[in-house]
Amino acid sequence: MPAKSDLTERMAGWLAGRWSSFGLFALLGAVVGTGQAPLGLVWLAVAALALGFALFALVPAPRAAAWRGWAMGAGYVVSTMFWIVEPFFVDPWRHGFLAPIALAAHAGGFALFWAMAFGLAAWFGRGRVQRALWGAVLLAAVEMLRSHLWTGFPWALIGHIWVGHPQMHLAALGGPHLLTLFTTLVAAIPVVFGTRRAALGVLAALAVLAVPVPYGLWRLGQEVESRAPATVRLVQPNAAQHLKWQEEMIPVFFERSLALSAEPPEGPMPDLVVWPETSLAYLLAPGNGTAQVVADAAQGATVVVGLQRREGTAARNSLAVITPGADVTGYYNKSHLVPFGEYMPGARWLGSWMPGGIAESAMSGFVPGNGLRLIDLGEGLGQVLPLICYEAIFAEEIIAAPRPGWILHITNDAWFGRISGPYQHLAQARLRAVEQGVPVLRAANTGVSAVIDAQGRVLDSLPLGEAGYLDVALPPRLVATPPYRIWGDWGMLVLLLLAGTVLCVARAASKPVDPTGPSE
C-alpha cells in the first residue's frame, strides 16, 4: 500500500488533469446543491463541500484553482437553479430554444464568483490548510457579493441548506450570510486536521455543526407578543401560467378566486382575504364593478389582491387593498423588479426575440415603486410589510424597513415549475421570518401558500398545484427584536474582515512554500 505522502502526490497529479478534474469538481458542486429544497440532503451537501475544499487545497496554482472553482460553481448553479428554464417553456415554440442558452449563461456567470474565491484563496494561502480556510472565507464573501451586485441575486445561497433545522436560527444573529460562513468554515475543518487525522477532523466538524443547536431550540420558546385574534384566508386559484392570460380563461380563474373567497369557513369568519400576485386581471378603481364583486365575495372582510395596472404611462406590478365597502384604500407597487422577467435590459434591441416575461405587453417592462413600506390593515391586522414575489429573497432590504407586525408575501411561482423553484422560494420566506422575528403569510398562485410563524415553522400550507384556500389564525411576533435587524450585514462584514486579518497574520508568520519542491 503506498505511503500517504505518495497518495497525496498522485492525487495532486491527477487533479492537474484538466477535464477529469473539471468533471469531478462540477459533480461535487452538484452534490452540494442537494442540500437545497426540496431535497434537503444537508449532510451530503456539507460532505461534498468538505471534499471540494480538500481537493482544491491540493492545487497551489491560482489559475488552476480558479478554473476548478468555476467548475464546482457551475455544477452547483445547474443543480440548484435549473428551474430558470421554466419560463421559456410557457411558450415553448417561441422561446424554448433559449432555455439551454439561458441556463448555460446563468451557471457560467454565477460560477465566476466561485472561481474568484478559489483563485484568490490559492493566491493568498500558503499550504493546504491556509488555502482551505481562505477558500471558506472567500466563498462566503463572494456569496454575499452576488447578493448585492447588479441588483443582487441571493437565491440558493449555501447557507440556505439549514432552513428547517435548528442551525437556521443563526440567521437571527447575522442573516443568511452568517449561515453561509458557518457552513463553509465547518467544511474546511477536516483539511485543518490533515489526512493522518481525517477521522478526528470529521468528528470536529460534526461537533461544530452541533454548536448552534441549543440556541436554535431556545429561540423556539422565545416570548411572543399578545395580539387580538385575527383570521386570514389565503386564496390559491392554481392558474397555470400558460393558461392564465388566455382571454377565455381569465373569467374562469376570476370566478374561481371569488368562489374560494366566498366559501363558508369552518371556524371564525376571515378578517382578511388575500389573493396572490397578478391574480386580478380586471380594471380596479374605487367603487367600480370589480371592486364591488370582490368585496361582496369576501363577505365583510378586507381583501388584498395582486394585479398589474397602469399609473399614467407606467406599468406597475401592485398590491391593492379593498375595503368591505368596495373602496380601494391604497396600493403598494413592487420595488425590486426581476431582470429579464419584469423588465428586459436592452429590450429595444432584442425586439420580438425577447423572451416573454410577465410584462410582455410593455417593451420597457414594469416601473419600480419607491421602496418597501408598511401598510395599515386596520384593527386586529395592524401594520404589515407587503412583499411581491421576488422581493422576499432580499434580507438586507427587508431589515431596512420598519419592523412590521407581520409580513404578507404574495407571489406567482407558476413561472418556476413544480420541481424545486417554488420550494426554494418558500424556504427563503421561512428564513425571513427568523431574521425578522415576525410571522410570514404567503399566498401563491399555484402554491405553496403557507402560514409561517415568527420562528420559521410552517404551521399550515396548501400543496403545490392545487386550488383551494387556507383559513389561518394570524400568529404573533416575537417580543425581542433579532440582532440581525439591528446590525444587518455590517456584522458579517466585520466577521469576514476579522477572518481575513487572522489569515493574513498567519500567512505572514508562515514560510513560503516552494511549488516545485516536495508535496506539502
Summarised one tens digit per residue, pLDDT across range 502-518 is 999 999 888 765 444 44
pLDDT digits (tens, 9 = 90+) for 176-223: 999 999 999 999 999 999 888 989 999 999 999 999 999 999 999 999
- Name the domain count of the chain: 2
Q: List residues with catalytic annotation.
A: 277, 334, 389
**Cis peptide leading into residue 448 (ω within 30°):** yes
Joined grid coordinates for residue 340: 429579464
| One-character DSSP codes across 137-198 | HHHHHHHHHHTTGGG----S-GGGGGTTSGGGGGHHHHHHHHHHHHHHHHHHHHHHHTTTTH
- pTM for this predicted structure: 0.92
State the DSSP H helix or E strand holding residue 5, giving kind and residue range, or none if neither: helix 4-15
- Close Cβ partners of 107 (under 8 Å, ≥ 6 residues apart): 73, 74, 77, 78, 81
The percentage of residues in the chain with a pLDDT greater than 90, rounded to a whole number, is 78
Same structural domain for residues 182 and 295? no
**Is there a single domain that holds both residue 55 and residue 201?**
yes
Judge if 189 and 317 occupy the same domain: no
> DSSP readout, 31-53?
HHGGGSTTT--HHHHHHHHHHHH
Pair 446, 490 in one domain: no
Structural domain boundaries enclosing 148: 4-220+485-509
pLDDT > 50? residue 356: no
Better pLDDT: 371 or 88: 371
Is 516 domain-assigned?
Answer: no
Say yes or no: 11 and 37 in one domain.
yes
Is the per-residue pLDDT at 355 higher than 80?
Answer: no
| Cell, residue 502 | 487572522
The C-alpha atoms of residue 45 and residue 204 are separated, in whole angstroms, by 17
Domain assignment present for 519: no
d(CA 60, CA 64): 8
Residue 11 lies in a domain: yes
In this structure, the answer to whether residues 345 and 373 fall within a common structural domain is yes
* Rounded CA separation 217/259 (Å): 41
